[in-house]
Structure 1
Amino acid sequence: MRKDNIRKRSTSKIRPTMAVKLVLLFLSGVVLISAKGKDCAPSFCSCKKYEVHCEMPEDANKQMTYYEYAAAQCKSHGGVLANLADPDVDAMLKKFIANEGLDGSACINNFGFFIGLTDPNYDGSFVWSNGNPLCQGCYTNWAPGEPNNNDKKDENGQNCGQLWYRSNHNGLWDDEYCNERPKGYVCEIPNNCCCSETP
């Protein structure tokens, strides 16, 4: 079962191009209601909220990398950078970004949104922010020729994943430098008690 819920919120601390925060809900699993009908049963309801954030401030990397900044922002909301190991979630987020016009310079000048995919050991072994490896034979959605671990701007190469919106890549995955340029980012936040009625 899927449900999209979009909420726009502005904050005064971010520049106008970042003023839109969009929220998306993804429901899956079976919803069970308690005997009283008021409490949801989190063990039977898997609900995740996805927040799509426009580009972070240019100076966000003063005390950490841009990628670490994005991860810290997600953590401050109770989540992690989004895990897109499920093709339905990946497609849903990209459709949402396109439909809301977030794939252009009004939201991202630097062509991408960080997601929860990294190569922490610099060896081409990518893992999701929940600790699960990007395994052989599992779903991936890399752009052609990616990941390429380009090391022209950082000797460690490109070790942080993004949804790439340069040259008509339309949100395909790309390995990107973790601290070269500010990006947008997508958070995944558990919301186990969002389920309030039976299917």
Structure 2
Amino acid sequence: MGVLTMIILPVLLIVVAAQNELQPMEAGMEAGAAEPVPKDWTLTQYHYERCRYHVEFERKDLSTEKCEEQTHEEQSLSHIHNTIKALLEEEPPNNKGCPISGYVSFNGGCYKDFPEQKTYNQARQRCAEDGGQLAMPKDSATNTFISDLRNEDGFRWLGLTDVSSEGQWVFEDGKTLGSTGYSNWRPGEPNNVASAEDCVVFGTHARWNDLRCDESVGFICQIDQVTVCEHSEARTTENQYEYHWDLPRLTASRFTFEVQANHDVHVALSSQNQDLDDMYEIVIGGWGNSKSMIRRSKQGHDHAKVSTVEINSQTEYRAFWITWSSDGTIAVGRGGESQPFMQWKDPDPLSIAYAGYSTGFGSTGQWKFCPEASTPLKPHRDMAPEQLYQVLQQQQDKIREQENIIVTLQDRINSGIPEEQAPGGRYLPLT
């Protein structure tokens, strides 16, 4: 019995079948295109691994094929279509870089919902057992993502209190609420009922509410994401300030990499895969590995400039991430840390589609680039209009891609295959 294995990628369907059972490639068909799918194959198993769905079919005994009614054949094909469509609509696991199972990664951090009820201090202790803290949403996107993690309704503790000084809200990592420029209080909150509400919970619609710290509710923990660019081939930049534009188009609003260099690590973010007059330039460890900057053009004005002494290393890889948002905020952080060490908000944001990289000024570099799995956000009533539009547009694009794959599969199935049984059908390893 032959075996058919299908690897389903987001935009490409690759079909590998038992030897000699597929039609020869048609003239003009591009290499790597999906070949015709045989009729009367039965789904036996599938699993998700490393951003791919591995789908395996087995062909039915051909001795019974002639006895089957055409209507039964159509039902069999319909079952295969529906099964593949369901697989395409599943969200792949998104725990990349999370050191503990059950946590989900987003924007440099890893988060997990705990519906069991504990007091604020008990919840802090439970998070500490995982090496983390209670979740600290410091922007709208993170706040919405964390809120959507809740598997059950009800309050969840956040890592924010004014225990030390009434009205002075401080996150678990010591940063003040005011320093983030973001909050999401429910109307009328915080109200400090009976002068006893010093801790913060998620209420409905991702809104915050102050509550007594000795109340028992669920909680959400946050741990640092570990950045490791696995299976990434190292690329070299010479002692020449010239950007390399050989990376694929960006598919997420985050760029993660590891670099080994003396100093002057440069990353450009551009709307095209080339140098432009209007593009972002991020310098990490310039001025002899002592300062880092964000610019809006090559060698342009330093809109953000911070001290980062010895941030790069000549002897080991250092991990970094860069994110950008629809409100124009460019943030730069170290691998394993969820908070940026440098950021700037552009009042007139540029479009970003490609990343370039360079060293120079007496420095060479070895680079590894980490593929990003774009984390889909769910539409939410509290989203800013521009963010809601962006999320809905991404969902529409995803649906369109899935429909194109299904249509392509339908065309391949309708084209049919030779009905001769291939001798000694064998399983071909995944490539």
Q: TM-score, normalised by structure 2?
A: 0.30
SS in structure 1 at match of 2:126:
helix
Mapped partners of 2:182, 2:225: distance in 1: 24
Q: What amino acid sits opposite 2:199 in the alignment?
A: C
Mapped partners of 1:144, 1:51: distance in 2: 27
The residue correspondences of 1:171-190 to structure 2 (distance < 5 A) are 171-179=206-214, 181-190=215-224
Tell me how far 1:92 sits from its aligned partner: 1.1
Mapped partners of 2:164, 2:200: distance in 1: 14
SS in structure 2 at match of 1:184:
strand
Tell me how far 1:120 sits from its aligned partner: 1.7
Deviations 1:71-93, CA, capped at 9 Å, x for gaps: 00001100000111121110112
Q: What amino acid sits opposite 2:223 in the alignment?
A: I
Q: Would the aligned equivalents of 1:157 and 1:177 in 2 still touch at CA under 8 Å?
A: yes
Q: Would the aligned equivalents of 2:157 and 2:200 in 1 still touch at CA under 8 Å?
A: yes
Q: 2:111 matched to 1:50? A: yes
- Which of 193, 196, 200 is the matching residue for 1:157? 196
- Map of 1:80 onto structure 2: 133
- Map of 1:192 onto structure 2: 226
Q: 2:108 matched to 1:25? A: no
Deviations 1:80-123, CA, capped at 9 Å, x for gaps: 001111211101122332xx4x22xxxxxxx3000001012241
**Residue 120 and residue 5 in structure 1: after superposition, are their counterparts in 2 closer, same or farther (change >3 A)?**
same
Q: Would the aligned equivalents of 1:149 and 1:158 in 2 still touch at CA under 8 Å?
A: yes
**Residue 158 and residue 122 in structure 1: after superposition, are their counterparts in 2 closer, same or farther (change >3 A)?**
farther
Mapped partners of 1:195, 1:141: distance in 2: 34
**Residue 194 and residue 176 in structure 1: after superposition, are their counterparts in 2 closer, same or farther (change >3 A)?**
farther
Tell me how far 1:162 sits from its aligned partner: 0.5
The size of the alignment, in residue pairs, is 137
Tell me how far 1:22 sits from its aligned partner: 5.1
Alpha carbon RMSD of aligned pairs, Å?
2.3
Q: Would the aligned equivalents of 1:122 and 1:157 in 2 still touch at CA under 8 Å?
A: no
**Residue 50 and residue 161 in structure 1: after superposition, are their counterparts in 2 closer, same or farther (change >3 A)?**
same
Tell me how far 1:131 sits from its aligned partner: 0.4
Any gaps of 5 or more consecutive residues in structure 2? 1-91, 96-100, 231-369, 373-431
- Which of 170, 177, 192 is the matching residue for 1:134? 177
- Map of 2:241 onto structure 1: none
Any gaps of 5 or more consecutive residues in structure 1? 7-20, 28-46, 61-65, 104-110
Mapped partners of 2:109, 2:179: distance in 1: 26
- Map of 1:70 onto structure 2: 123
Q: Percent identity?
A: 28
**Residue 124 and residue 116 in structure 1: after superposition, are their counterparts in 2 closer, same or farther (change >3 A)?**
same
Mapped partners of 1:195, 1:142: distance in 2: 38
Mapped partners of 1:137, 1:68: distance in 2: 24
Q: What amino acid sits opposite 1:138 in the alignment?
A: G
Mapped partners of 1:185, 1:191: distance in 2: 19
* Higher-strand-fraction structure: 2
Q: Would the aligned equivalents of 1:163 and 1:171 in 2 still touch at CA under 8 Å?
A: yes
Mapped partners of 2:130, 2:205: distance in 1: 27
- Map of 2:156 onto structure 1: 113
Tell me how far 1:136 sits from its aligned partner: 7.0
Q: Would the aligned equivalents of 1:114 and 1:183 in 2 still touch at CA under 8 Å?
A: yes
Q: What amino acid sits opposite 2:209 in the alignment?
A: D
Tell me how far 1:145 sits from its aligned partner: 0.2
**Residue 159 and residue 96 in structure 1: after superposition, are their counterparts in 2 closer, same or farther (change >3 A)?**
same
